[in-house]
Chains A and B, each alone.
Chain A
């Protein structure tokens, strides 16, 4: 009761405070905008990353390394602002718009939604966008069918090495018939990847069993159900599923079913093997492209998007042991990198 009357008495005061703070915020904005109009030392790059998971983080680190190799070192002649959208499209859009306001020299966008929002925000500006980890730039509207760019935007694509992955699975499991894939139905990358898998699986004697989810919370149930129907599971570059990788591994391990990853971080985390991309290298490649643009050697619009053509074999013997899967020595030795323990972060 006392609290209520206290609130009522102070209501008028609170009202005033609210109005004053709004006014103050407007003033601060003006000041900051005016201040931001000054010139900066060196170059500035805004990194807009869509979600937190190993592959994307590797991209970012690779990107910075690639820039460093070309002479752009953070702290020296380069300021980096890094924002992670936490898988929220609205935040990604806001981030892009924010970078444009701050007049960065280049935006690095990691993953499709970040790339899309960055391209949209920079459309009427001179700021180039260099993306990475965008599985299908053509479908995302960032590139034409012939790989040429649609505007001041270019980058690298992490298109899956489907054929090589299928071949690898056949080598490891000569008798397997069904491969399960979990994916988020609303991620366009995943939808086109599934189509790709289905097209090519037949030639290797496999049948693809897919399980669609709409959110990370559904992965657990989907996995529990799928492991009863298939001989193994393989991953796409689906942000939702990769973020929930441990859940998938838990369910698969209960049935001693191997899970094959789409890149090295997943193998390190417990997937048996992968014919995958080294996201760090992909990031590095992207960093070098960005460096060329910053130096003024070439415009983003003139660069076609690049992909990594040679996938590498990664193997995790500890993961194989866990489910009682025996891998031939020659196979393990042929791997680009072999892990003998499961690292869960």
Chain B
């Protein structure tokens, strides 16, 4: 039971990250490495707010999101205005964010064990009966993840969202429609990194600590989730793409947890992840080529 709960919690938290990666990688067609920096940014901001500043945990959610939006905006400006290539803009931001995240959090490891988090505070503890405590986390994460997903779905059906979908597909059309495609890209990057940062915020509160290295490989996990979700669940039309991305994240985490449970050594897990990733990429790309 603990394993299932853990997989669901991690799967959904990283599912929000996957939503962000979905926007940049699939919709904007922009491989965004900023994610490795914006994920810990949300985490760093949250622990600073909860720990040192002693603010109520619920404020960390909008703070992390808008913080991530700012980060994404910077990446966008570097790419659009300074004309740096997509991959390199992300790398520049990711590198700079290492220092910024250390500075925001205060140091490379910040525990918040005895502080109130979004999962563990007066209000929540008073509503939930103690025999259901182990489900607290997963329910709250589920609510937040669903909120993020539905908001994103709604946004992609608005006029502004249509532009976002258009710019990754055919940016000439966006110019033909009389819209500055650079601006649309910046908006897309902002929303995506806002989601990633939100994901980092939840992660830090679930782990009750911030560690500087949690961002390493975040974009890879996000990409894996997006690709697993979209490739495996493509045929099922009832499931929206955003849901399939979250499910992909849960499946990915489940595979890793199972491998470890079965006794596979930690070293081997990375290789297995890489192979799994490759297989799915090949299957996924093949479908695209049709």
- A-side interface residues toward B, CB under 8 Å? 4, 7-8, 11, 14-15, 18-19, 22, 25-26, 28-29, 32-33, 83-86, 88-91, 93-95, 97-98, 100-102, 112-113, 116-117, 119-120, 123-125, 139-142, 150-151, 184-188, 191, 214
Cα A94 to Cα B133 with chains together (Å): 21
- 23 A-B residue pairs with Cβ-Cβ distance under 8 Å, sorted by A, are A8-B286, A8-B290, A14-B283, A15-B235, A15-B283, A18-B280, A22-B232, A22-B251, A25-B258, A29-B4, A32-B261, A86-B267, A90-B214, A95-B266, A97-B257, A100-B2, A101-B2, A116-B209, A117-B207, A125-B2, A141-B113, A141-B114, A191-B107
Asked if B3 CB lies within 8 Å of chain A CBs, one says yes
A186's contact among B109, B112, B207, by CB below 8 Å, is which? B109
Q: How many residues of B contact A (CB 8 A)?
A: 48
Asked if B98 CB lies within 8 Å of chain A CBs, one says yes
Asked if B287 CB lies within 8 Å of chain A CBs, one says yes
Inter-subunit contact A120/B283 (CB<8 Å): no
Q: Which residues of B contact A124 (CB under 8 A)?
A: 133-134
Question: Which B residues, 239 to 255, have Cβ-Cβ distances below 8 Å to chain A?
Answer: 251, 254-255
B102's contact among A15, A141, A186, by CB below 8 Å, is which? A186
Q: Which residues of A contact B254 (CB under 8 A)?
A: 25-26, 29
Inter-subunit contact A150/B113 (CB<8 Å): yes
Inter-subunit contact A142/B255 (CB<8 Å): no
Inter-subunit contact B286/A11 (CB<8 Å): yes
Cα A112 to Cα B3 with chains together (Å): 23
Which residue on chain B has the smallest CB distance to residue A14? B283
A91's contact among B133, B207, B269, by CB below 8 Å, is which? B269
Inter-subunit contact B108/A141 (CB<8 Å): no
Q: Which residues of B contact A15 (CB under 8 A)?
A: 232, 235, 283
Cα A72 to Cα B286 with chains together (Å): 56
- B-side interface residues toward A, CB under 8 Å? 1-4, 6, 98, 102, 107-114, 133-134, 207-209, 211-214, 216-217, 231-232, 235, 251, 254-258, 260-262, 265-267, 269, 280, 282-283, 286-287, 290
Inter-subunit contact A11/B283 (CB<8 Å): yes
Interchain nearest-CB distance for B190 vs A (Å): 27
Interchain nearest-CB distance for B266 vs A (Å): 5
B256's contact among A89, A94, A113, A119, by CB below 8 Å, is which? A94
Q: Which residues of B contact A120 (CB under 8 A)?
A: 113, 207-209
Cα A186 to Cα B216 with chains together (Å): 14
Inter-subunit contact A113/B211 (CB<8 Å): yes
Inter-subunit contact A83/B266 (CB<8 Å): yes
Q: Which residues of B contact A102 (CB under 8 A)?
A: 261
Inter-subunit contact B286/A7 (CB<8 Å): yes
Cα A93 to Cα B133 with chains together (Å): 20
Inter-subunit contact A141/B111 (CB<8 Å): yes
